């Protein structure tokens, strides 16, 4: 297999933290670059950490080289305080990282966490920004682009989000009544998204692929990824 390097942007968030733990539990990567505004509290000799401002990401380009890039960046309007700041985190920074990846001679896959319902034409600001990001990345002609579209994410977050906690409660109470195609909208654990990201990235499947909740759950459960050209979700 040889030595492989992963890069994670946003390892202090729900999915990013789960992803870092997942990668550390495997022997696949000999080096894991972690970039973010805040330091992580996980120690391992495979980790190489860069504390930086994503506004200055370009200045680090010559030090950031990896086979598999994982972009787990994202914020909320409560945290960002403005649409402009939200757009910068959820659109500008991931695009910057994708440009660095494309110019990297080691680059094999770019993996980005988006959202179910992402649509650049949506009247909802959040969905619109996520859709714009997906459209822009698809136009970049990356060797391998994997877009992950989780619905409601379950797991520990350092910042309490009242509406998400209420949604988790509703998920628990109503899960028995959700059947058929509605399952695809339902909650998914951050750890399941992280596991799916690892198995997909390590498959080296090229092209553009969008992974939805049920598919990610299936990959995490089976611990493998096999490309299905039908692009259908199977429980």
Contact of 151 with 187, CB cutoff 8 Å:
yes
Task: Report which secondary-structure segment, H or E, holds 144.
Answer: strand 144-148
Residue 184 has pLDDT above 80, yes or no: no
Question: SS3 for 131?
Answer: helix
Work out the pLDDT band at 77, boundaries 50, 70, 90: confident
| Residue 48 or 170, more confident | 48
Burial 100-127 (b: 16+ CB within 10 A, else e): bbeebeebbbbbbbbbbebeeeeeeebb
**Cα–Cα dist 155/176, whole Å:** 20
User: Is 50 exceeded by the pLDDT of residue 179?
Assistant: no
Going by pLDDT thresholds of 50, 70 and 90, the confidence category of residue 232 is: very low
Predicted pLDDT at 90: 97
- What confidence tens digit (pLDDT) does each residue in 94-142 have? 999 999 999 999 999 999 999 999 999 999 999 999 999 999 999 999 9
From residue 29, alpha-carbon distances to 6, 7, 105, 178 in Å are: 7, 10, 17, 38
Predicted local distance difference test score (pLDDT) of residue 1: 58
User: Each residue of 11-63: pLDDT tens digit?
Assistant: 999 999 999 999 999 999 999 999 999 999 999 999 999 999 999 999 999 99
Q: How far apart are CA 214 and CA 96, in angstroms?
A: 29
Task: Give the Cβ contact number of residue 148 at 10 Å.
Answer: 27
What is the structure's pLDDT at 155?
84
Return the SS3 of 48: strand
Q: What number is the average pLDDT over the span 3-17?
A: 97
Provide mean pLDDT across the span 152-157. 80
pLDDT bracket for residue 182 (50, 70, 90): low
Q: Strands 68-71, 31-36: parallel, antiparallel or unpaired by DSSP? A: unpaired
Q: Where are the alpha helices (DSSP H) in 140-212?
A: 162-174, 190-201
pTM over 0.85: yes
CB atoms within 10 A of CB 75: 17
Mean pLDDT computed over every residue of the chain: 88
What per-residue confidence (pLDDT) applies to 235? 34
Give the Cα separation of 138 and 159 in Å (integer).
32
**Pair 46, 72: CB distance under 8 Å:** no
- In this structure, what token pair is assigned to residue 165? 């906690």
Q: What domains can you pick out in the chain, each with its CATH number?
A: 5-222 (3.40.50.720)
Banded pLDDT at 167 (limits 50, 70, 90): very low
- What is the pLDDT, as a whole number, of residue 176? 43
């Amino acid at each position: 297999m040889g030595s492989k390097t992963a890069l994670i942007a946003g390892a202090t968030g729900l999915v990013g933290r789960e992803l870092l733990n997942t990668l550390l539990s495997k022997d696949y990567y000999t080096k894991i670059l972690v970039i973010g505004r805040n330091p992580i509290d996980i120690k391992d000799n495979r980790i190489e950490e860069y504390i930086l401002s994503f506004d200055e990401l370009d200045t680090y380009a010559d030090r950031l080289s990896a086979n598999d890039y994982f972009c787990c960046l994202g914020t909320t309007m409560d945290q960002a305080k403005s649409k402009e700041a939200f757009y910068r985190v959820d659109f500008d920074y991931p695009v910057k990282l994708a440009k660095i990846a494309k110019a990297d001679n080691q680059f094999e896959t770019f993996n980005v966490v988006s959202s179910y319902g992402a649509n650049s034409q949506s009247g909802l600001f959040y969905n619109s920004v996520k859709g714009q990001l997906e459209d822009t990345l698809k136009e970049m002609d990356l060797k391998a682009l994997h877009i992950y579209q989780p619905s409601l994410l379950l797991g520990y977050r350092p910042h309490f989000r009242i509406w998400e906690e209420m949604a988790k409660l509703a998920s628990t109470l109503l899960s028995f009544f959700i059947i058929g195609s509605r399952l695809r909208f339902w909650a998914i654990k951050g750890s399941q998204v992280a596991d799916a990201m690892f198995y997909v990235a390590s498959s080296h499947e090229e092209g553009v692929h969008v992974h939805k909740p049920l598919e990610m759950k299936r990959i995490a459960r089976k611990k493998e990824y096999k490309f299905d050209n039908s692009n259908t979700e199977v429980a």
